[in-house]
Each structure stands twice: as structure tokens, then as C-alpha cells.
Structure 1
Amino acid sequence: MAGSVREVKTKDEFWKIVTDVNKNHLNVVHFWAEWASQCQMMDDVVKELTSERQLKEVKFLKVEAEALPDISQHYSVTSVPTFLLLKGNTVVDKVEGADAPTLTKKVHQQATKMIVQPPAEPSPSIEDLNSRLKKLVNTATCMLFMKGTPEEPCCGFSKKTVELLQKYNTQFSSFNILADQEVREGLKKFSNWPTYPQLYINGELVGGLDILKELDETGELEPMLPKKEDLNKRLGNLINKAPLMIFMKGSRDNPRCGFSKTLIGILNETGRKYETFDILQDEEVRQGLKTFSNWPTYPQIYVNGSLIGGLDIIKELQETGELDKTLNGE
């Protein structure tokens, strides 16, 4: 809406906006986080831009980067504030950081350009797409390709499939095919299965909801499904996965919050080997570890299975010269 900023709350709402029939419409998307004061400063800049008459056709959107991680990851947003200038679903420009002059300049440049259809991006080769799909179907022992997420299914078939898996306490991961058209279309050919959801076990296609129902009726389904571990047992195994284990938002190569990014920088300076776990990808671990460790925030650092604390503790240890000793487990 011209003259205001629309805060996008769900993935489906976002994709509906940016895949609007008018592929040349300019959307300016502000990826923000509540903890980043620079984002609040840039809110005032964006507010000024929305009031400019020559920008009345521009849509200004806000996306909380950590609340909608699939969108952030899709566009490789690794810090906040980040501004993407989109025409349709195509990124035409990008501004990282609280750089008001650059943002203003680039928004005006894109808004005043002639309305021309951007050239289509070259399609990935079949070989590259098949390689990506093969990795995806092997992401987890039990992998569900569905419309939406297990928490928010976007079709009745996906909802019933999730309910069936949960009925048997199944440990499974999922992929939202609505968020990636390439995967959505490519997997149909890859699996020779035209509809969704699709369930894979050990990288092999089992089928859709109708097949799962048949297997359930004959008693064949439950033995095929990997079961969830007891949560405390699972958490115990995770924190002992490596001598130095980090639970964070994102990964070492793609931290998804300022605290996690700062921590990775400190650890990398020590030269130590460590493993990370992305709590944004597993809500059960994200919530369960808070109770298990009696520590309410992330990141969390474990040495030899014992909690050290969060970023504030690591900074204190660094300042007092005790960090190396602590990371050695002494």
C-alpha cells in the first residue's frame, strides 16, 4: 500500500505479494530484527520514502528476518538491516546495513527506470537440479515434501499426512514446496510422482497420502518410520556430539542473528574445531533445550557436554583471559 509499510507475518503472504501478476512492480523489503537498533533508525528513513509522491507506486514491506527464516535464507540475508529491491521475485538491487543515502538513491533509481520486463534468469541445468533434489531427499531419514510446514500445512492432504506421521511419533523433516517453484516442479519429474505431499524414506520415494493410508491399513507403515528419541535423551546426544558444541540461530557459515554472528567470530579467532546446530530448523530442540539447560536464550555453548553459557559469558571469559582454558574444558 502506497504511503505506508506493510509488515509481512507469514511466508505465504510474502510469496503472494512478490509473485504478483505485475512482475515489474517495485517492492522494497526491509529485513529487520527487534534487537537491532539500526533497524529502528531505518524505519524512519523508510517512512520518509513512503511519503514521497514520486514513489507512490512502490510497495514497502517489512520482514522479521528471524521469524521467517525460509525467506531470509532464500535471499541469502545474513545480517540486519538488509533491504532488497525486488521486481516480482527478482532481486534488482540490495542495500546492507543502515545506509540511508544509498537506500534512498537506489529506490529512486529503480522507481524511475522504464517499466521493462527483466530478462529471465537462465534455468538451471537438469544435472544441477537433479543433484540438488538428490541432496534434498536425503536431508533426513524421513523427508516430507509438502505444501506449508508441519505447524502450518497449506492443504488438507499435507495436514493429514503430518497427522499420520505424528500419530506414530515419527522423526521427520519437511520442505515447503510452495516456497521454491524450482523444487516444486522439478521433484515431480525426479520422482515421477505428479502430486504433493511426497514422502521419502532413506532417499527413496514411498508415495503420497493415498499410499501412506494403504500402508497404514495393512500395518506396514509404522515399522518403516523412524521414531523420535526421548527429548532429553536426544538433547543429551546433541550436546555431546562434539567437544565444543554451539546451539545458535543459523550456521557457522550463515549466522541468523547478531549474537550468533559475534560468537562465531570469537570462536573462529581461537582456531578451534566446533560443531553447530541451527535451532531455527528444529522447534522441538529450540524450546526443549531452554528447559534442559535452564538457559532461556541463544546461542548456547557447551564444552564436553557441559553448558558454559551464552555470548555474554564468552565475552567475559575473553576479557579476563580465561576463554582458552574454558574451551579446553579445564
Structure 2
Amino acid sequence: MSTNMKAVQTQEELLAHLQTKNISVLFFTAEWAEACNQVETMLVVLAEKYSKIEFLKLDADQFEEVVEGYEIEAVPTVLFVRGKEVIDRVEGVEPQKLTSLADSILLSSVSGSSSIFGTAEEARVSSASISQENKAALTKRIESLVAQQPVMVFIKGSPNQPRCGFSKRLVETLKRLNVSFGYFDILSDEDVRQELKVYSNWPTYPQLYSSGELVGGIDIVEEMINSDEFLDVIPETAKALSN
């Protein structure tokens, strides 16, 4: 079946497409994320329906600068853009939302969009918007979460189905080292996702905690492994016995 879904190979190629100021659809995917296959199937159908619209497929692991600029939190993510400007987005597998946005955006002219290098979506809950009473309760919940297991990781997705490359790397690293761990999917709770950044004074994910204390993200973990320091901060109860 022919389709105008195009796999973009270079950033220069992407910029050439976006210079036109036309509405297009950007599909951020990754080979390791099974959920992307379902979204791609839906997009192929939409690409046939809206044959005059460009559908561009990007491997998130190969376009790190673009991923950062567009604030892509996980794959699959679909962006509806006019030129370089974001109109709306769909994160994860949401067939009804994807179809609804496609029909409303691609069928009509769209006015008022946000810059890809602007702040996060208005719908996202910031720490400042939480009342003091709720903030105190949320802090207690976070304190409980970070100490829920001797080693806790806060990742995007789950260990079996991570939704970002950094989360995938952290999970694979812990498994390789036979470190047992609990996890929390920060995409499942926006309040925890935002407040944990404040609590830990660490702005990105994933985050790894040992005995309730922040160790750091994947870069810190890898640096500590290279200097033979990492296992020293892991409780004995989290070190699985090797055969």
C-alpha cells in the first residue's frame, strides 16, 4: 500500500520539510518501543486519508536535538505542526484522540500555535499551581515512594516497556548488574512527575534512588559504574546473587 509517510534520515532533511510552513505530522518512534507499531499503523491509514499532508517518521534515538527541542517525553509521540510550530500532540497510544485531532487539524486552517522551543504545555501541572495543603501531602507521598524499595527508579514507562531511551538504558544497566529495584512510571502521575523534580532538585528523568536518597540519572549511574563506585551505594538487599 502506497503512503506518504516518509522516514526522515537527517536533520537537514527534516528542516527542508518544515521550511514550507505547511501543516505536517511528525511521528517520533523507536525500534525498541512496541507501542510505536500500533501508532504507525494508525498513521499510515491517516496518511492515506490526508494524502496532501506530509507525515514524517523520525527515530527518536537518532534525533536527540529535535527530541529535546520539541520536548518529546516518550515514544510514541505524534506532533501536528505548522512549519516548525507545534499545534498539538498525542503521547502514547490514544487512537480516539489521534483520529479526532487529525480530523480537526488537518481538515481546517489552524490559528495560534506554540513554539517548539517554548515552555511546556499549558495543561501540564507545575509545582507552583499545587496548594500548600496538597503540596505537603504530595511531599509525603514522594518520601514514601523513593523509599518504597531499597533501590527505586523513576522512569518513563515500565521496565518491560520503557518509553524513552534513557529509561531503557537505566533498566538494562540495573538488570545487567543483577540489581533488584522497584519502579514508578512518572508518566502515570503528572503531580509526582513535576514535584519530584523539586524534591530532588533534579530536573530530568530517569532518576535512581538508593535507600531513599537520590543517586542521579543515567549519566551519573554510568560514570559511577566506570569508576567502580556504583555498587558501593547499592544496599546488599538489592544485590541479587549471581550463579
* Aligned mates of 1:299, 1:34 — CA distance in 2: 23
- Aligned-partner SS, 1:91: strand
Q: Does 1:50 align with 2:47?
A: yes
- Aligned-partner SS, 1:273: strand
- Aligned-partner SS, 2:45: helix
Report which structure shows greater RCO (CA 8 Å, sep ≥6).
2
State the shift of 1:15 in Å: 1.5
5 Å matches for 1:222-301? 256-260=165-169, 266=183, 267-268=208-209, 270-276=211-217, 278=219
Q: Does 1:29 align with 2:3?
A: no
Pair 265,101 (structure 1): closer, same or farther in 2 beyond 3 Å: farther
Q: 1:12 is matched by which residue type in structure 2?
A: E
State the shift of 1:258 in Å: 4.1
- 2:228 pairs, out of 296, 305, 312, with 305
1:62 is matched with 57
| Structure 2, unaligned runs of 5 or more | 119-150, 154-162, 175-180, 184-207
Q: Deviations over 1:60-87 (max 9, x none)?
A: 1111111110000001102010011101
2:37 is matched with 40
* Aligned mates of 1:82, 1:120 — CA distance in 2: 17
Q: Deviations over 1:219-239 (max 9, x none)?
A: xxxxxxxxxxxxxxxxxxxxx
Q: Is the 8 A contact 1:50 1:56 kept in 2?
A: yes
Instruction: State TM-score, norm by structure 2.
Output: 0.55
- Structure ID, larger Rg: 1
Q: Is the 8 A contact 1:38 1:81 kept in 2?
A: yes
Q: Is the 8 A contact 1:66 1:257 kept in 2?
A: no
Instruction: State TM-score, norm by structure 1.
Output: 0.41
* Aligned mates of 1:108, 1:265 — CA distance in 2: 41
- Aligned-partner SS, 1:92: strand
Q: Does 1:80 align with 2:75?
A: yes
5 Å matches for 1:189-228? none
Q: 1:33 is matched by which residue type in structure 2?
A: A
* Aligned mates of 1:82, 1:257 — CA distance in 2: 16
* Aligned mates of 1:69, 1:118 — CA distance in 2: 27
Q: Is the 8 A contact 1:28 1:83 kept in 2?
A: yes
Q: Is the 8 A contact 2:86 2:113 kept in 1?
A: no
1:10 is matched with 10
1:178 is matched with none
Q: Deviations over 1:230-258 (max 9, x none)?
A: xxxxxxxxxxxxxx9x9xxxxxxx96444
| Structure 1, unaligned runs of 5 or more | 125-243, 247-253, 280-297, 309-316
- Aligned-partner SS, 1:73: helix
* Aligned mates of 1:259, 1:71 — CA distance in 2: 19
Q: Is the 8 A contact 1:259 1:299 kept in 2?
A: no
- 1:322 pairs, out of 229, 237, 243, with 237
State the shift of 1:275 in Å: 3.4
State the shift of 1:18 in Å: 1.3
State the shift of 1:30 in Å: 0.8
- Aligned-partner SS, 2:41: helix
